[in-house]
Structure 1
Amino acid sequence: MERQITLKDIAKEAGVAVSTVSRVVNRTQKNAASPQVQEKIWALVKKYNYVPNPVARSLKMASTTPAKRAKQTNKILCIMEDCASPLAQTFFNSIRLSLKETLAHTDYTFATLLVKNTETDDELQERFLQENSLGAIVLGNFTPDTLAAIQKQIPLLVCTGLTPVEDAYNQVISLLTTATTKALRYLHANGHKKIAYLGTVENASYKQVYAPNIKEKFGTDTLNEFSIECQADAASAYEALKEKIVCNSLPFSAIVCENLPIALGALKILNEHNISVPQDLSVLCLEENEQAAYFLPSLTTCKIPTQQLGKISIKILLDQIENGQDIPLKIELPVQMVERTSCQNISPSFPIH
């Protein structure tokens, strides 16, 4: 039986170390060797029809700690929560693209891994062994147990998004509750006191900011009247607001919409019933992207700085990797109001044109 060729054989013929051949063949480093050496190694791999032994490699990986494995790669992993919410997917994907664009100007590689909160420690360990990354940016609302299991396999983490985590983790956040507070203050400053909320009512924006604010000012009955519950899509928002209009129940001067699809559904039904925006009703959206400028009328929004969330997260992670920064950082980025034409100032002293 013909003896199977090994890395040692290829290294000997190429005149390089076995570790160099391993790095080139397993692609664990972008610049594992000079272009000439890599070309020579791949020529020998092709000549002898060499195939890496996956069993031996997995055993070797399993015998090393996450910290030791990290030294064998230059990959940065983006760990995204695998969830059913279209709103969350859209938001976190915009941060993911920022991460990818930022790393494109470095020597690091980038990969994305979808993870469910229901995965066990063993399942996560197996998946992370295959990825073999230096560190990770975590996007999503993971449970404390899942987050701890992730860090056990990938010690260098930065948690990024809309929800704060334990102080033991590096985190870069821009709170949706802050956006909701800013939206209500903006509308109050423009003379609106009775403000409705159109969206899901299980999120932090509604529970922690909107509901307590309205309840304190007007009581529980008004809160129930102003809360228009719907799913996070245009069709559901359309039907929910239509029911209010048909019942002649619009006792408010402004609506805060949870996301852009909800705002789209609201504008459609208001237009069909000849309710003019912003002359009859102001509409403000808690989500911003370039599409908001092309709504009719163009939407006033709260902008979560997704580009900056991604860039700063990468900066913190690379500081951990390259400089050994080991003090957990918590950075909260501000929310910006983007004023367009869907809101009107109705203060008595403000001239209406």
Structure 2
Amino acid sequence: MKTTKANSTEIARLAGVSRSTVSRVINNYSNVPPRTREKVLEIIRQHNYVPNVSAQILAGKRIRTIGLFLISQGSVSSDALTNMLIVSVIENASEYGYYVLTHIIRDTQDTEAIKGVMDIFYQHRIDGGIFIGAASHEPFIEDLVKAGFTVGIVDQELPERPESNRIVSTFNNDAGMKMAVAYLSGLGHTAIGTINGNMNRLSGRTKYEGFLAAMRMCGLQVNPDWVLEGDFQENSGYEAIQSLVGRGVAPPTALIAANDSVAFGAIRALKEHGLRVPEDLSVIGFDDHAMSAKHHPALTTIRVEFADMLRRLTTCVISAIEDETAVAREIASDCSLIVRDSCRRI
């Protein structure tokens, strides 16, 4: 079909609407009255006007591209786990003939940045999106779900009324924390602390809840002085230990970190204060980071099968894109204890 030389201004004149209305129709915004939308589309069809970016959209075709959005204030390029997650999505999407558009969101309170992400969906530059690092409730993601876009979210739970275009993945953090506490208890530890993750994220909250439940199951008391604030970045583990030592609090005999990066930071700070791991203090991580086996000491941790989880999540997102009647899905990933050198019997 050959296009004409008509531009959006000419289409707007012929349809008796503003140029911005034509743009909203082309980009499929919802705030256009149905009769106005149909009038503009009829003029577009009559004049074979197809903007390049929207050609496949107006033809009713998918563009076979999904978005991968990382919500992180910290370094992404230097984090091996994050890079593995990115590669997992790209590899699995490629198997289905899909491309992956990637973007880092540094601040979800930045209205301009979030508008840019929303526009990518509304302009149909992608068929759906996957979000990593989102808070338990992220308003702009909820808006995308309500608008009918296919969205996959790592580390979230389904709401009471799950939508068919929402796919979530969760980790069995409760079981993982029970493994960690039970292992340390079996080694004779009773003074066990934890460095929490970001409590605005599901994993931060559920790991701490799992820690409390596991301590109760083992008949152990939780000392508030040994419950340390953190997020999921290495520096938060370092700062947590600096704060503990700075307050003059006697340390526990063992610590469970929210993830391996946090554990790395904690071990670095402990070494600076002359405390040896595991001789003076045992440390367990969570995730089984790519560098955990190579760390000194090699880190005992709770392994999460991230690659398998991302493979299943990507597959479900693409399935939902290609079949709008697909039911809502919740993907759960199991955990396992990996024993290395960072814990000792007392």
Task: Please tell me the TM-score bracket, short chain as reference.
Answer: 0.5 to 0.7
Over 3 Å counting, the alpha-carbon distance change for 1:61 and 1:75 in structure 2 is same
Determine helix, strand or coil for the equivalent of 2:123: helix
Show the counterpart of 1:109.
99
Opposite residue 92 of structure 2, the aligned amino acid is T
Contact kept, 8 Å, 2:298 with 2:342, in 1: the verdict is yes
After TM superposition, the structure 1 = structure 2 runs for residues 1-353 of structure 1, keeping only pairs within 5 Å, are: 7-8=2-3, 59-62=25-28, 63=37, 71-80=60-69, 82-84=71-73, 94-114=84-104, 117-118=108-109, 119=111, 126-139=119-132, 140-141=134-135, 143=137, 145-159=139-153, 161-166=154-159, 167-168=162-163, 169-200=166-197, 202=199, 203-205=204-206, 207-211=208-212, 213-214=214-215, 217=219, 222-230=222-230, 234=234, 237-238=237-238, 240-242=240-242, 244=244, 249-250=249-250, 252-323=252-323, 325-346=325-346
Q: Deviations over 1:8-50 (max 9, x none)?
A: 379xxxxxxxxxxxxxxxxxxxxxxxxxxxxxxxxxxxxxxxx
- For the 8 Å contact 1:95–1:309, the answer to whether it is kept is no
Give the superposition deviation at 1:180: 2.6
Structure 1 or 2: larger helix share?
1
Comparing 321-330 with 230-239, greater Cα deviation is found at 230-239
Deviations 1:146-195 (A, max 9, x none): 33311244533333x22313233322222444433332232223332221
CA distance in 2, matches of 1:296, 1:186: 20
Answer with 190-199 or 208-217: which moved more. Answer: 208-217
Q: Are 2:120 and 2:126, in contact at CA under 8 Å, matched by a contact in 1?
A: no
SS of match in other structure, 1:252 = coil
Separation in structure 2 between the aligned mates of residue 273 and residue 314 of structure 1, nearest angstrom: 44
- The structural deviation recorded for 1:54 is 11
Superposed displacement of residue 227, structure 1? 1.9
**What's the % identity of the aligned pairs?**
17
Structure 1 Cα separation of the partners of residues 137 and 247 of structure 2: 42
- Does the aligned pair in 1 maintain the 2:173–2:207 contact within 8 Å? no
**RMSD across aligned C-alpha pairs, in angstroms?**
4.1
Contact 1:77 1:113 in 2 (8 A): no
TM-score normalised by length of structure 2: 0.68
Matched residue SS, 1:294: coil
**1:309: how far off?**
1.6
For residues 257 and 319 of structure 1, what CA distance do their matches in structure 2 show? 36
* Structure 2 counterpart of 1:36: none
Q: Cα distance 1:7–1:189, how it changes in 2: closer, same or farther (>3 A)? A: farther
| Cα distance change of structure 1 residues 183 and 85 upon mapping to structure 2, 3 Å threshold | farther
The question of whether the paired residues in 2 share the 8 Å contact of 1:190 and 1:344 is answered with yes
Contact 2:261 2:289 in 1 (8 A): no
Going from structure 1 to structure 2, the CA distance change for 1:300 and 1:70 (only over 3 Å counts) comes to farther
The answer as to whether partners of 1:198 and 1:237 remain within 8 angstroms in 2 is: yes
Q: Which has the larger Rg?
A: 1
Unaligned regions of 5+ residues in structure 2, if any? Answer: 6-18, 29-36, 42-53
Contact 2:68 2:100 in 1 (8 A): no
Q: Structure 1: which amino acid aligns with 2:205?
A: A
Mapped partners of 1:276, 1:125: distance in 2: 48
Residues 107 and 238 of structure 1, relative CA distance in 2, 3 Å threshold: closer
Tell me, in whole angstroms, the C-alpha distance in 1 between the residues paired with 2:231 and 2:257: 11
Q: Distance in 1 between matches of 2:320 and 2:59?
A: 12
Please report how far the alpha carbon of residue 275 of structure 1 lies from its aligned counterpart in structure 2 after TM superposition.
Answer: 3.5
